[in-house]
Amino acid sequence: MSAATTVRLTHAQKGSYIVILISFDIDGTLEVGDPPGVLTMAMVKRVQKQGCWIGSCSDRPISAQRAIWAQHNISIDFAVGKLMLPDVKAKFVADMYYHIGDREDLDRKYALDAGFEFLWPHEAIVHPWFL
Amino acid sequence: MTPQNPPASFYRTTEGLGLWEHRGKVAAVGVGHSPTARRWDGTPETCVGAWSILALRRAIADAGVSPNQIDGLVLDPVTTTGAYWPEGVPVPMDVVNAFHPTSDPLDGIAKLSAEWILQNMPELTNIQFVMYGPRCMSHAIVVAAQAVGEGLTHTCLVLKSWHNFEGRYYQGGANAQDTIDGTSAISRLWGTPASYGTALQFAEYCRKYGKTHDMMAPFISNSRRNGLLFPEGYWAQHRPEPLTTEDYLAARWIAKPANLFDNDIPIMVSAAYLFTTPERAKDMQQKPVYILNHTSSRATPRSLTPTLEEVEAETAKTGRKLYEGAGITAADLSFENMYDGFTLFHQFHLEGLGYRGIKCGEALDFYQTDISIEGPNPVSPSGGNIGSGRSRFWMHTDCIQQLQGRAGARQVTGVTPEIAVSGGPMPLGGNFTVWSATPD
Amino acid sequence: MAKQGVVPDALTQPFWDAANEGRLVIQHCRACNRLQHPPAPTCQQCGSRDHLGWQEMSGRGTIYNYGVVYDCPIRLLQQDQPFNVAVIMLDEDPGIQMYSHLPGTPVDQVPVGARVEVIFEATANGQKVPEWRVVGESL
């Protein structure tokens, strides 16, 4: 069970709260990407501690995505290829779905097509979750 | 010295030519590679010119010759197919002036002339022969082999280099404009990416023979596995990630049925070989690998894009030409290293070769069997471009290294490496070589 | 779909002029009675330059093959991806191929082997281009 689930249950005990799912592109978005992005793994851990479902949606092979998260001791809820955000939405019941990425054609377009909210990395980094 | 363009007589493009007249009389004796990078970092030390020099010097050292023994140079002056210096961006003169420049400031940065190489390698004091083998190493190899065979050069460097810049490959330039010229529009107006033509052939192949894209997965995994055993390659050096079946099947489409991992990744890298005569090779450091034959495909499609029928006909013809000129049959092949820049055409090369008796429509089934380097039917032991990034020469290096017994962890063990083929790029239009551990 | 505006050049001017008139023409060599497409300065079979002209086509064809473009290199088309790109073979000569976005055909639901007819659509600068639609389907 991921850390997010544990936190969510805890929150549920305190009453209702909004369930948020955040999908991260890697290259150009996260500090570990190529090119490196502005979002740090510490920031990702921070949102996870707040009870968000988290995972990656990247052109990196899925096995490689999992390896990256494992290297940073982050237990994720999903790792998918680009164009698989509809599958993520179908599998995880959340109140809000966000995808953070750096490409108009691949990240923003497909996020919106899948019914996700979209944030550019520079927008996400000033979002309260990460601060 | 003005580089020559290869004469038409250099190329073996038709059937019925018999044995190659220089069969076994040209040997590869040295291999040199630069490091790899995803993109140029803007420094003089890593520009395409610098890495070309590095690869050339490593090939020379590998062969154990002194530079003044070298009298020939064959190279491809074009160092990209899709990454161009951005319009309006000044060329960094600190990089240009870190070398002895030519009149073109992009020389050594976004292209590579023989003049630039020779001005910046003063140790090459005895170059008498310079020729271009454009487009890729497959072509440069054919030109160099023929030149050595004809006695135009006796100790010849063969070079292919690639640059890559910031930004996305094939984006920008004409593709970013609001208009397009009438001739280009005929084929380019509909926005097809580079892998589209191959994707079409594969789609037709699957319909005709009842196959599916999923059947490609073992080839992909095998290629990346082999590439991760190629220390000179990009993935081994920078991102040692296997490609599992799940990874492959989850990849997004580029031009369906070609997905992301059916396409190679553009990188920066240079490679050089040293070719010589068997007599001279005896005094050199490495075991010589002999060229039994080379052949070229100059076929063009009837219309906009090759059909499956055209592909199958041409790859079969390439196979026949290779065997005829080398005096061998498909049964003599220890392994094959045909090009894989789009994975979806590798099987056409395999079927054209009749590798291990494969006929048209059977290659994808063959992929489901043991195609590993440890098995009896190695497929792409180099790992190709999928295994090591976009260079179009891993296949050639691997042939040489395998036949020399120097392929390290990648050395084929299920077969005795005696004769191999490599070449490309496309099923229609490419250059191919038969390599042998012995001259006959 | 907003295609790039086509600026005809000397070689292809007749093709694009005909498109503006709602006619499909293909380059034709009178010496060897052979159609060729894409157009070229010389006949790809006999090498003739002087015997090349243009022949009007019926505008009928068949869908030979197709792919679906998800990652397009042309900026103007990226907003429309994914989209079909089909290969049409002409009734007059199945060896002659033309590309088409197949307006009216859903993405990745291309009926290979279906009959098509030519239509003409304007590109970004008003120059018309031959497109194809499945016979029986309305836009």
Q: Is B13 exposed, middle or buried (0-12, 13-18, 19+ CB in 10 A)?
A: middle
Amino acid at B83: A
Minimal-distance CA residue of chain B relative to A59:
B251
Q: Does B250 touch chain C (CB under 8 A)?
A: no
Whether residues C81 and A83 touch (CB distance < 8 A) is answered with no
Residue-range domains of chain A with CATH? 18-91+100-130 (3.40.50.1000)
What local confidence, expressed as pLDDT, does residue B49 receive? 98
pLDDT per residue as tens digits for the range A55-102: 999 999 999 999 999 999 999 999 999 999 999 999 999 999 999 999
Minimal-distance CA residue of chain B relative to C45:
B302
Residue-range domains of chain B with CATH? 8-168+268-281 (3.40.47.10)
Tokens 């007589």 found at? B9
Whether residues A83 and C70 touch (CB distance < 8 A) is answered with yes
Q: Does A105 touch chain C (CB under 8 A)?
A: yes
Residues 6 or more apart whose CB falls under 8 angstroms from that of C125 comprise B178, B179, C5, C6, C7
Q: Does A59 touch chain B (CB under 8 A)?
A: yes
CA distance C77 to chain B (A): 7
For chain C, residues with pLDDT lower than 50 are 138-139
Q: What is the average pLDDT score of chain A?
A: 89
- Mean local confidence (pLDDT), A111-122: 97
Q: What distance in Å separates the CA atoms of residue B295 and residue B11, rounded to the nearest whole number?
A: 7
Minimal-distance CA residue of chain B relative to A58:
B251
What local confidence, expressed as pLDDT, does residue C138 receive? 46
Whether the pLDDT of residue A11 is over 70: the answer is: no
What local confidence, expressed as pLDDT, does residue A131 receive? 73
As a whole number of angstroms, the longest Cα–Cα distance in chain C is: 45
Do the beta carbons of residue B360 and residue B351 sit within 8 Å? Answer: yes
Sheet strands (E) in B76-141: 129-132
Q: What distance in Å separates the CA atoms of residue C61 and residue B20, rounded to the nearest whole number?
A: 45
**How many inter-chain contacts (A to B, CB under 8 Å) are there?**
38
Q: What percent of chain B has pLDDT over 70?
A: 100
B304: nearest Cα among B392, B428, B181: B428
Residues 6 or more apart whose CB falls under 8 angstroms from that of B291 comprise B22, B23, B24, B26, B27, B28, B141, B145, B275, B433, B434, B435, B436
Confidence of residue B343 (pLDDT cuts 50, 70, 90): very high
pLDDT per residue as tens digits for the range B368-420: 999 999 999 999 999 999 999 999 999 999 999 999 999 999 999 999 999 99
pLDDT per residue as tens digits for the range B303-327: 999 999 999 999 999 999 999 999 9
What local confidence, expressed as pLDDT, does residue C137 receive? 53
Q: Is B359 exposed, middle or buried (0-12, 13-18, 19+ CB in 10 A)?
A: exposed
Whether the pLDDT of residue B207 is over 70: the answer is: yes
B204: nearest Cα among B300, B301, B304, B307: B307
Contacts of A82 in chain B (CB under 8 A): 252, 260
Q: In what order do the strands lie in the sheet with C34-36?
A: C34-36, C25-29, C52-56
Contacts of C81 in chain A (CB under 8 A): 105
Written as six digits, the tokens of C136 are 């029986």
What local confidence, expressed as pLDDT, does residue A10 receive? 41
Q: What distance in Å separates the CA atoms of residue B296 and residue C138, rounded to the nearest whole number?
A: 47
Of B38, B243, B253, the CB nearest to A61: B243
Whether the pLDDT of residue B237 is over 60: the answer is: yes
3-state SS assignment for residue B274? strand
Which of left, alpha, beta for B295 (phi over 0: left; psi -120 to 50: alpha)?
beta
Whether the pLDDT of residue B137 is over 80: the answer is: yes
As a whole number of angstroms, the longest Cα–Cα distance in chain A is: 41
Q: What distance in Å separates the CA atoms of residue B436 and residue B415, rounded to the nearest whole number?
A: 14
